[in-house]
Structure 1
């Protein structure tokens, strides 16, 4: 039996489990079964909290996509994990540091269901994404072109704990999000896959965003995707230091002062229900 809590951040939903006292081993097949929205619990990602591996951190934060693949970061999930840790009595602290397989995230609970997450400074080198950039071995330029069967897409790449490609668009079209998003998420230029964000810049303080996540598909919101969009927009001179990112599930506030500095994200983390998977 697996006790769990169903949580969500802006409609990006999770099953969260406590593995601090006893290890939990989950196969990809079991995760896929649990993620099924008709035959299982249904979720975008499954989250585990485990004992810390780094003495500088409070806990280890493990993230699985709906297809069973493991991810390196999840902004909405990190905020939910902070609330889970507090409500389950795993820590009384309102400031927490979590380690993932790729990075660390600092969390601060600022309200009963509001959490501020600070992600490590974004990385742009091709090897850090990873991204196989044509004609640019460093991969540090602002824009790249990736060829798809029917078109060439102009995008920017960034790693915010997980890999993102961000496309600036004039309008958010559903068919483009799914068609281009799925094609890019599996494209050979991204050896480990990529999350694909479609960003419409309303003004220097507001963007509208839709994200096709690798291993999951389009979600109502993507916290790391919102951070990636902010970074790309600011790096390209389109945005100010504080931006509201509007997604189908709601709004996140993102702050980023510039290269080499961490990204701050503030948004909700909702406790939905508790259950047991038999």
Structure 2
């Protein structure tokens, strides 16, 4: 038994993409971790049939946990679907809701991520508070290293700290500490956003279940929304991530967040034996 896959990345965020349109692909947590051991990835993606869209995108993190959505993967899956159909627009269903992907260049795709979810119980948080600046800090009470981050759901939960401290040790230590904080019943992706200008953000993200990644599409969207709500940026910005740059636009009329960025195919491979089931 074998199963072909495509290895792709979006701004450095690495994926293994499996076509499950005609043959089901539902590995359990152990199976996902076994695939990751042989073919390392940030997220494992299955493209499945959908009754309401052009396809359904299922996402697993490297730790084996299934998650709601992934912004960079949506661009990659959107590109594959558009290439196979010859169309310039497709609708992709996810556990986080439907998303529209549109061709934006040779290897560029724009994804309509929909409106951000800003209520405390939509993120979700364990208790009610203002998501523009939640009651959370890292470090001593009288001298915290970071505090009062914004909280946003882009189909998956994000917390965004406003800071210029972005070195590996700090991001890994703080991110792993916050990821499973009791305030976040579903866990959380942790962003570290340094506002360089009203239209430019430098971002690093500790991704729930994956760790420090080259890019996080939903994290870039969350960072723009969080900084704009605090008046640190406008509603349109370039977001610099380790693997490249994403353009994020929070549309004033529709309230939707649009993410535009690159897509790259790195190669192909095959899952063998039980990994292909």
Fold match by TM threshold 0.5: yes
Task: Give, in whole Å, the separation in 1 of the partners of 2:68 and 2:197.
Answer: 31
Q: Which position in structure 2 is the counterpart of 1:230? A: 224
Q: Which position in structure 2 is the counterpart of 1:194? A: 188
Q: Which position in structure 2 is the counterpart of 1:18? A: 19
1:146 matched to 2:136: yes
**Per-residue deviation, 1:146:** 1.9
1:207 matched to 2:205: no
**Per-residue deviation, 1:140:** 3.4
Q: Which position in structure 2 is the counterpart of 1:28? A: 29
Contact conserved, 1:230 with 1:243, CA < 8 A, in 2? Answer: yes
1:183 matched to 2:181: no
**Per-residue deviation, 1:62:** 0.8
> For each residue in 1:123-178, what CA deviation from the matched residue of structure 2 results, as whole angstroms up to 9, or x when unmatched?
11121111123xxx2x3341012255756532110001110000000332322211
Task: Give, in whole Å, the separation in 2 of the partners of 1:170 and 1:211.
Answer: 13
1:118 matched to 2:112: yes
Runs of 4+ in 1 over 4 A off after TM superposition: 147-152
Task: Give, in whole Å, the separation in 2 of the partners of 1:112 and 1:35.
Answer: 30
Q: Which of 53, 57, 60 does residue 61 from structure 1 map onto?
A: 57
Q: 1:236 to 1:257 in 2, by over 3 A?
A: farther
Write out aligned runs for 1:199-278 (5 A): 199-258=193-252, 261-278=255-272
Contact conserved, 1:235 with 1:258, CA < 8 A, in 2? Answer: no
**Per-residue deviation, 1:198:** 0.1
Contact conserved, 2:120 with 2:131, CA < 8 A, in 1? Answer: no
Contact conserved, 2:78 with 2:92, CA < 8 A, in 1? Answer: no
Gaps of 5+ in 2: 273-277
Q: Which position in structure 2 is the counterpart of 1:98? A: 92
Task: Give, in whole Å, the separation in 2 of the partners of 1:71 and 1:276.
Answer: 24
Contact conserved, 2:131 with 2:151, CA < 8 A, in 1? Answer: no
- State the TM-score, normalizing by the size of structure 2: 0.92
**Per-residue deviation, 1:83:** 1.9
**Per-residue deviation, 1:107:** 0.2
Q: Which position in structure 1 is the counterpart of 2:166? A: 172
Task: Give, in whole Å, the separation in 2 of the partners of 1:159 and 1:176.
Answer: 24
Q: 1:59 to 1:155 in 2, by over 3 A?
A: same
Contact conserved, 2:104 with 2:260, CA < 8 A, in 1? Answer: no
Instruction: Name the SS of the counterpart of 1:13 in structure 2.
Output: strand
Contact conserved, 1:6 with 1:16, CA < 8 A, in 2? Answer: yes
Gaps of 5+ in 1: none
CA RMSD for the aligned pairs?
1.6
How many residues align? The count is: 267
1:86 matched to 2:78: no
Task: Give, in whole Å, the separation in 1 of the partners of 2:170 and 2:148.
Answer: 13
